Amino acid sequence: MGIIIAIDGPAGSGKGTITKLVAERLGLIYIDTGAMYRCVALDCLNKDIKPDDIQEIAYVLKNIDIKLLKENGEQKVILNNKDVTKEIREEKIDKVVAKYAAIKIVRDKMTPIQQKMGDNNNIIMEGRDIGTVVFPNADVKIFLDCSIEERAKRRYRQNIESGINTPYEEVLNGLIERNKLETEREIAPFVKAEDAILLDSSNLNIEEETQKVIEIIKETLKIKGKNIC
């Protein structure tokens, strides 16, 4: 197994943007586990399968094909041979992904796939349970967080840039509801790993946050006698 960097954090904390930037600068393979759960949600929505229809969800998982590819420096998400990179970020997925991600058979399917990605690769993986479930023995664990209001502002700005005109209050309420679902679910609840380093980015811009994460990674690996290069 290569070097594993685990980045966890709530929706809107900036972990996707930061993780991609850190991966580029340190030469790590970037893996967005949230995209995988979004693919499951999208596949189920397209087939009109509700979160409580476990039997049908099991059938979807048996046949689902998810690929995370890198093209021209950008990550592409391929679901059943279709590029769904933009579609999985739409509001309809934001509203339901936490419900599908809380289902045991879904997590049982995704977790081994994610763990396999760490074989013989230096990776930086972001999600909700990377440091607690997927890679509890990760070389570096970082928990990115900021206030719920700041997270809502960031998600609102991202939506506007993507042409999604969801009112700020609706974005805020959506994040509050999602946080409740993720922290209270029975399977792999969203919590900070005890040995994860907390980084509050409420007052940091993207470049400052990126540099802080890189500093934490390098210092932690140095203490452990490891090197990315």
For the chain, state the CA radius of gyration. 17
39-53, 82-96, 136-150, 180-194: the lowest-pLDDT one: 180-194
Q: Are 19 and 32 in contact (CB under 8 A)?
A: yes
36-50, 56-70, 121-135, 161-175: the lowest-pLDDT one: 161-175
Q: Angle 168-184/148-161 helices, nearest 10 degrees?
A: 120
59-63, 67-71, 92-96, 124-128: the lowest-pLDDT one: 67-71
Which DSSP symbol is given to 70? E
Q: What is the mean pLDDT of the chain?
A: 91
- Mean pLDDT, residues 201-219: 94
% of the chain beyond a pLDDT of 90: 62
- C-alpha–C-alpha distance, residues 141 and 145, integer Å: 13
Q: Encoding tokens for residue 3?
A: 């070097």
Q: Where are the domains of the chain?
A: 4-223
Q: Please name the residues in contact with 5: beta carbons below 8 A apart, sequence gap of 6 or more.
A: 22, 28, 123, 124, 125, 138, 139, 140, 142, 217
Local confidence band at 107 (pLDDT 50, 70, 90 cut-offs): very high
The answer to whether residue 229 scores a pLDDT higher than 70 is: no
Q: What's domain 4-223's architecture?
A: 3-Layer(aba) Sandwich (3.40)
